[in-house]
Structure 1
Amino acid sequence: MASETDVSEHSASGSRPRNRLRRLIAQAEIDTRLVGMVVGLLIIWIGFDLVTGGLFITPRNLFNLSLQAAAVAVMATGMVLVLVTRNVDLSVGSLLGVLAMVMGAVQVYVLPDILGYGHPLIWVLTLLIGMALGGLIGLIQGSVIAFGGVPSFIVTLGGLLIWRGAAWWVTQGQTIAPLDENFNVIGGGISGTIGPMWSWVIAVLAVALLYAQMWNARRRRRKFGFPLRPLWAEGAIAVLLAGSIVAVIATMNAYPLPERVAQQILDARGVEPGEGESVYLGHGLAVPVLILAGVAIAIAVLAQRTRFGRHVFAIGGNPEAAELVGVRTRRTVVLVFGLMGVLCAIAAAITSARLQAASNGLGTLDELRVIAAAVIGGTSLAGGVGSVIGAVLGAVVMQSLQSGMALVGIAASLQNIVIGLVLILAVYLDRLYQRRQ
């Protein structure tokens, strides 16, 4: 029978590798929650690929997955800020629907009579009108919450009903189509990609900016005497991130355009394929993916590098203390909901342009998908904690589950059950993580 000394020595020896691993993770400043999400996403992809016989991890499916996740991911970046302030917005799906209908009506029934059919400014003015209206609605809802003292749950639940009804009222339930050709580029598809060459240009610029940002951050840490990340960790992270960018671009370029379309593009460039050669041209990055990247970077910078972002997280951490130190909490909450409205307009443009039509049913249940994406991405419902990049990954996880189940042939009702269970599991894991921290 083992003595107490032997047991204690065995326990100590078993804990040494774990302590060493924790120390290495702390030195490398690795976000374990983010790494866990990436690993979970890869497991989902590999699992569905095995079940579908290799149909999931293909350039075509991943390209379509990026288009389908873009609108939810755009709204999820704003939902992070809403949840961080200890609020919630249940109206985003209905708001998307009414804004899509308004933008559809403006570009089909109003602007052509003023500017002329096919005018190049139609899509610009349509998008600006949608963003202005979305921002105004968000500001109104935020004002009722912040200055009226009505809980955000009640205000936005009312908004869910109001804006869904308003979406039908715009055209009495009639679908608006076809939309402006230039506007449809926002939705991706054959006409909404930038092609292989410009995709690689963006990849090079992204890698260069990544390395410049990492070098500048290290330089500033050394300047102010902060601890530096080990060089091995710095190099490994740089290689992994750059490799991910290259892999994304290579995958998008590997999905070929239809031969007829590729031939038209090459003819316009004056390029003639050799005799007997097949015409091949990849899609490249889709415009909605570029919009999502721009929005995610902008919201991340806003949240992490500005006074407004610090105020948002201060309100979520302790609203009373934030107000005592001079943070204008009510004004900040109003602006957060206004920003959420603007992002709903961008998502509405992506969704309606991808379908090349606007209907009053657009955005149905998107409020649940958006909240689930933010929570899965590490945003706490208790406020004060949130990650923009995590929310984008959460949206990809949600869409991957939905797309994979559709490929397998699972009924829509069962898909909703699975997504609901995933949301509950994500909140439960968040609680466990908070306790452990």
Structure 2
Amino acid sequence: MTDTPNAPAAPSNPPPTQATATLPGLPKGQQPGAWSRFLAATELDTRLIGMVVALVLIWGGFHMYGVLVNGQGFFLTPRNLWNLSVQTASIGIMATGMVLVIVTRHIDLSVGSILGFTAILMGMMQVNILPQYLGLGHPAIWVITVVFGILCGMLIGAFQGSLVAYGGIPAFIVTLGGLLVWRGAAFLIARGETISPVDSTFALLGGGPYGSVGFIGSWIVGAIICAGIVYAIVNGRRQREKFKFAKRPRWADAFLAIVGCAAVVGAVLLVNSYPWPTGIVRQYVAANGLTTDPETLFISHGFAIPVLILMVVAVTMTFVMKRTKFGRYVFAIGGNPEAAALAGIDTKWMTVKIFAIMGGLAGLSAVVASARLNSATNALGTLDELYVIAAAVIGGTSLAGGVGTIFGAILGALVMQSLQSGMVLIGFDAGMQQVVVGSVLVLAVFLDILYRRKSK
């Protein structure tokens, strides 16, 4: 038998224009199942789906526990979920930086101590120093304080990164020393005292009734996020067409857009359903000379400012990791440091910059944490390093390096904070909380090892 010259050859792979439901060349019995085809079409990460499922189970479990024991569930309420979002902000901000550190095969055990140290410095700045020169309540005080705190965190991170990169000291040792040094320095500067109250405008960055954007502001934020989701999907499809990459089916793009926007709308409805406390409403009515009965006036909290800060950090860090040369270098170093160096990447300078970013984010978290408490203490941020590392690892960041996502780390922070908040609501003591958190961290690392073995 001879070949026919004009007969078209059967393609060995699907065309690079759209995902296919079946794989050519495989018998019907060996075709992937519906779930596998769905994941392939939507390109959803199975680990992120697993975390969402775990989060739903955690929330449902704590709520049902309250129903069975107390006759009423307290977890799945607008008040608790709103507070949970605010509590997650500080850990989530630092977790985005920890992704960079762990992806490049390092670790930072000092983030909690950097948070406490920079919080003390910012407290001294806005309470004891700036009012002497600018006057009490000057509008520039909070701006100078925030910039000062972030810069201090960046300098500390850059210093530790220099010791790791140019001094050849393992990051574990450098940051373990930093954990002790910066915590002790915070105690020495403040002499163990609490610095309060912070500047009134600075305090708004910690949330609360006045530290939120309200009903209309939340819908504006939600509309912006939905528009961003749709734009990202449409632009991604155009980029794939431009560079001849395989595209998702149109139904998959539509599904992702609908689910993403629905989640945003649900979040807006949730935060808007949590009203101001009656006492705050009375103060608001009296201060504005209103005649409305405070008992009947419903004022929505809306998104808290710390949550908006976390959103901005998440979008920025995602862009940096996925769309910039810096992000590509981070993953290249994590995948193979020696090959990255041979390819011309200055791995030492990159290490310094990564630790500087981590320190700056710890300083930003100090802003949120101290503003939320309306004070600064040297104990602020104690054990936060555990929650930050656990959040990054639970979110899919591999301790072996080279793998990690910003969104996964934030979702991991929400899981960790949900566990802590739920255990407080059901009456677990501090010792049991630490046992659970430590166990979850070990389990997350074990599951990561199993996942990497399966993917090889």
TM-score (norm 1): 0.94
Deviates more, 1:228-237 or 1:256-265: 256-265
- Distance in 1 of aligned mates of 2:286 and 2:217: 18
8 Å contact from structure 1 (residues 134, 345) kept in 2 = yes
Structure 1 residues 166 and 23, CA gap change in structure 2 (3 angstroms): same
Q: Which residue of 1 aligns with 2:200?
A: 181
- Aligned partner of 2:350 in structure 1 is 332
Contact 1:288–1:350 at 8 Å: present in 2 too? yes
Q: Deviations over 1:89-120 (max 9, x none)?
A: 00001110100000001100000001000001
Structure 1 residue 261, shift from structure 2 partner: 3.1
Per the alignment, in what secondary structure is the counterpart of residue 193 of structure 2? coil
* Structure-2 change in CA distance of 1:41 and 1:228 (3 Å): same
Q: 1:6: which partner in 2?
A: none
**2:268 paired with 1:249:** yes
Q: Which of 382, 392, 397 is the aligned partner of 1:379?
A: 397
1:36 and 2:50 correspond: yes
Instruction: Classify the secondary structure of the residue corresponding to 1:395.
Output: helix
**Is 1:301 equivalent to 2:319 in the alignment?**
yes
Once residues 383 and 375 of structure 1 are traced to their aligned partners in structure 2, the CA distance between those partners, rounded to angstroms, is 11
Alpha-carbon contact 2:285-2:294 (below 8 Å) kept:
no
Computed over aligned residues only, the root mean square deviation of the Cα atoms, in angstroms, reads 1.8
What is residue 7 of structure 1 aligned with on the other side? Answer: none
Aligned to 2:39: 25
Residue 45 of structure 1 is matched in structure 2 by 59
Residue 86 of structure 1 is matched in structure 2 by 105
The aligned counterpart of 2:135 is: 116
Is contact 2:104-2:330 (8 Å) kept? yes
Aligned pair partner of 1:99 in 96, 110, 118: 118
SS at match of 1:52: helix
Counterpart in the other structure of 2:188:
169
The Cα shift of 1:223 comes to 2.1
The Cα shift of 1:27 comes to 2.1
Per-residue deviation, 1:208: 1.0
Kept in 1: contact 2:278–2:294 (CA 8 A): no
Q: Which residue of 1 aligns with 2:406?
A: 388
Which amino acid is the alignment partner of residue 353 of structure 2? L
Aligned-residue offset at 1:17: 7.4
Q: Closer, same or farther in 2 for the Cα pair 1:161/1:226, shift >3 Å?
A: same
User: Within 1, Cα distance between the matches of 2:76 and 2:123?
Assistant: 34
Aligned pairs (5 A) from 1:7-406: 19-53=33-67, 54-262=73-281, 265=284, 273=292, 278-406=296-424
Matched residue SS, 2:84? helix
Q: Is the 8 A contact 1:263 1:279 kept in 2?
A: no
> How far apart are the structure 2 equivalents of 1:134 and 1:310?
24
2-side partners of 1:282 and 1:269: how far apart? 17
**CA distance in 2 between partners of 1:346 and 1:230 (Å):** 40
Per-residue CA shift, 1:115-137, capped at 9, x if unaligned? 00000110100011111111111
Structure 2: which 5+ residue stretches go unaligned? 1-25, 68-72
- Superimposed CA distance per residue, residues 299-345 of structure 1 (whole angstroms, 9 cap, x where no aligned partner): 11111110001001100000000011111100101000000110001
- The CA deviation at 1:37 is 0.6
Change (3 A) 1:136 1:230: same
Residue 13 of structure 1, CA deviation: 10
Cα distance, 1:262 vs structure 2:
3.4
Q: Distance in 2 between matches of 1:271 and 1:29?
A: 53
Q: Distance in 1 between matches of 2:268 and 2:281?
A: 18
* Equivalent residue, structure 2, for 1:433: 451
**Relative to 1, partners in 2 of residues 1:71 and 1:276: Cα closer, same or farther, differing over 3 Å?**
closer
Q: For each residue in 1:233-282, what CA deviation from the matched residue of structure 2 results, as whole angstroms up to 9, or x when unmatched?
A: 11111111101101111111111002353355567788764x89811111
From 438, 442, 452, the counterpart of 1:420: 438
Secondary structure in structure 2 of the residue aligned to 1:83: helix
- Partner AA of 1:403 in structure 2: S
Q: CA deviation at 1:156?
A: 0.3
The alpha-carbon deviation at position 226 of structure 1 amounts to 1.2
Letter in 1 for 2:306: P
The whole-number CA distance in structure 1 between the counterparts of 2:429 and 2:130 is 41
The 1-side partners of 2:283 and 2:250 are apart by: 49
Q: Please report how far the alpha carbon of residue 150 of structure 1 lies from its aligned counterpart in structure 2 after TM superposition.
A: 0.4
Aligned-residue sequence identity (percent) comes to 52
